[in-house]
Chain A
């Protein structure tokens, strides 16, 4: 069953059409990825899903209910959580406070404490830096904070926007391994990436976005082998 389903979604920034009617679906428990060049509309798609902008036409359904007219915090409360592009951690708060912010919508103290402990095992580096101001961490560590913060909401689905952006190649590998580990825990993932090679290689299903339209879709492996994809994105 599709956990997240977009059908014919159009988004305008004033008069500019950023998304020209895109449809995609993400199956529960899977990893789907949206690849494409800069400005293709990847981030816009995620912003529309998380409620930060409202589509002019089309529907977005999550777990069977429409998201139209919902505020971002309501969508978060439904279990659909975004890891924003460029990490966007709270740089002036400590790592621990960032994690606490992730659990903002939750009230089960015990569960929150357990999740915190679990995530600190997943990201041992963060335990060392727990009381450090998050803005002083390295890029890779900040990505860990952003991911852990999103997981603190105990999401059923995670929207990840360019998690590998600006990271050293070695760290990029690590990020994708983490994504796979999170998915193995049962979290559905929609991954938006410029690094098409890595993204497609871990995704169950891929979509190629080009100037606001989906031009190709199919299982990740197949897209990797597709001549057009290789030519356009993998060089």
Chain B
């Protein structure tokens, strides 16, 4: 009975999720992105994924194999039934006044091109089969399951990012032959999809076979593996713009700026526990300082070169951070978040005001900011500026890493845990907090400085609250207090949505979902810091935990 209820609930939940995706218009939009040319598009892949996941979740903890299969089947059928119902409703009731996405095209997609009746049956059947398959997958041998998932994931990635990948492999000869075998310009060829599936799945099988035949990897080995994969990722990051051109360069540049900001905010929030929602203010200070110092327009002050302006911008940002920190020194927790939110908005509004317009240009902003140059070599293109960002991020990461392991870093961690006690042990509260704001601001100011010279102009409208929220979201998803986490978070939350441009409108939907999923299943983030995962493990198990720590 319990498994039955659980399977039914799961099915209904996934069904509602599917209906939601359909009605906000995401499914139809995904339909426009082919994965395998003429056969599978992203929308269909997502539908299939929903059914499979539904089956797998419904089948979890359902006891013996046949019960699990039944649970998966039931879950899938129910989810399919909801989707089929939606299709029939869209076909018969004019819903488009309320849900603009409830179009004939959506109906057609949900009916797999059939008439409403047979279409509903097909969806129901499809859901059932998908659910059953998901359940079977869930009970199958782990190595086989991993291989199938890896193969499917590889096909989806290769298909969704086909334009990007093809741009990188515009060569003649053997590479050209492989490319033409795998791709058309509208997606993967069927034979290409099969080949990728087999290769990725096979690799996964071989790897899991090797590790199961040999030994369980020690923590040391695992750590080494993680660093090797990080190294490979870095190499890809460095080489990618060279291979893939300006567009990727621009996207990576943006990711780089967010990494810089993320590392800064990570000092404040991740280490010192100071929740700051006005972080964009420091980014703005860096950008405006650079702009005013460099601009060739009448508002420009000194017409400095970038290399002179950038250090000054960073210093001014540090000063800004300290000033920003002063009024909120005694504010803790939730109140701090609200106070910083207000401070951040004040900065933006001051910049916008008529009062400051003669100095800062008001809504018109500051124009005519030259690009940096080394000798006569101008860093004019996004790709060249990306390398500047990369170098800055590298230096910043080194500094952040050293800070983490310093006396100051330890003082921050102690402050985050218990302000009073940290003070009682000799931590200078005022200095440590102001240093956290100041140093965090330095990173953001550096990012702002690059941002100003990249755009060649700065406007107050570029410094919205959303940037603060983005930065906070990326360090949460990446893993609080973890440097590699910042990089992963920036790639996942900033890079991916940029690459999937047409889904841009849905970015915040995706954020919300990603944050909820992360908080529920992987609260420590994608690449957690040691302290953070420790504390979560401490909360999860072992005797007599947190209660005794509460102040009496």
Contact = CB atoms under 8 A, between A and B. Distances in A.
B93 interface: no
Contact of A93 (B417, B420, B542): B417
Interface in A34-89: 50, 52, 71-73, 76-77, 81-82, 84-89
Nearest to A133: B538
Nearest to B551: A86
Interface in B459-508: none
B12 to A, nearest CB: 39
Interface residues of A, number: 39
A100 interface: yes
Given A82-B424, A92-B535, A139 B418 contact: no
Interface stretch (B281-289, B392-400, B406-414): B406-414
Contacts of A229: none
Nearest to B407: A104
Contacts of B428: 71, 73
A88 B420 contact: yes
A166 interface: yes
Contacts of B420: 52, 72, 84, 88
Given A136-B545, A139-B544, A93 B531 contact: yes
B74 to A, nearest CB: 41
Contacts of B426: 73, 76-77, 104-105, 153
A124 interface: no
The winner among B423, B424, B546 for most chain A CB atoms within 10 A is B424
B549 A91 contact: yes
B425 interface: yes
B178 interface: no
Given A89-B549, A92-B417, A97 B410 contact: yes
A57 B423 CA distance: 23
Q: Which among B421, B531, B548, B552 has the highest number of chain A CB atoms within 10 Å? A: B548
A122 interface: no
A3 interface: no
B551 A90 contact: no
Contact of A153 (B413, B414, B425): B425
Interface string A150-177: 1001000000001001100000000000
Contacts of B538: 91-92, 133, 135-136
A135 B549 contact: yes
A162 B551 CA distance: 12
A136 B544 contact: yes
B427 interface: yes
A76 to B, nearest CB: 4
Nearest to B537: A133
B534 interface: yes
B388 interface: no
A142 interface: yes
Contacts of A166: 548, 552
A98 B544 CA distance: 18
A220 interface: no
B509 to A, nearest CB: 33
B198 interface: no
Contacts of B545: 135-136
A115 B259 CA distance: 41
A101 interface: yes
B29 interface: no
B100 interface: no
A137 interface: yes
Given A93-B417, A139-B544, A76 B425 contact: yes
Contact of B552 (A52, A77, A149, A165): A165
Contact of A139 (B425, B534, B537, B548): B548
A84 B425 CA distance: 10
Interface in B392-450: 407, 410-411, 413-414, 417-418, 420-430
A93 to B, nearest CB: 6
Contacts of B550: 86
Nearest to A76: B426
A102 interface: yes
A138 B544 contact: yes
B542 A50 contact: no
B543 A138 contact: yes
A146 to B, nearest CB: 9
B interface: dominant SS: helix
A204 B358 CA distance: 72
A162 B552 CA distance: 10
A183 B255 CA distance: 58
A36 B225 CA distance: 59
Contacts of B546: 91, 135
B388 to A, nearest CB: 37
A90 B422 CA distance: 9
Contact of B549 (A71, A76, A102, A142): A142
B422 A135 contact: no
A84 B410 contact: no
Contacts of A93: 413-414, 417, 531
Contact of A92 (B429, B531, B548): B531
Interface in A82-130: 82, 84-94, 97, 100-102, 104-105
A165 B531 CA distance: 28
Nearest to A152: B425
A87 B548 contact: yes
A116 B424 CA distance: 19
A159 to B, nearest CB: 9
A136 B543 contact: yes
Q: Which of A82, A104, A162 has the most CB of B within 10 A?
A: A104
A13 B417 CA distance: 25
Nearest to B416: A92
Interface in B499-552: 531, 534-535, 537-539, 542-546, 548-552
Contacts of A97: 410, 413
A101 B418 CA distance: 12
A136 B542 contact: yes
Contact of A85 (B427, B544, B552): B552
B549 A52 contact: no
Contact of A133 (B422, B534, B543, B551): B534
A88 B428 CA distance: 18
Contacts of B429: 71-73
Contacts of B411: 104
A72 B548 contact: no
Nearest to A50: B424
B248 to A, nearest CB: 39
A104 B427 contact: yes
28 contacts: A52-B424, A72-B423, A72-B429, A73-B423, A73-B426, A73-B427, A76-B424, A84-B420, A85-B551, A88-B549, A89-B549, A91-B538, A91-B549, A92-B413, A92-B417, A93-B531, A101-B410, A104-B410, A104-B426, A133-B537, A135-B545, A136-B538, A136-B545, A137-B544, A138-B543, A138-B544, A153-B425, A162-B552
Interface of A: 50, 52, 71-73, 76-77, 81-82, 84-94, 97, 100-102, 104-105, 133, 135-139, 142, 149-150, 153, 162, 165-166
List the 5 closest pairs (A to B, CB-CB), nearest first. A86-B552, A105-B426, A72-B423, A76-B426, A92-B535
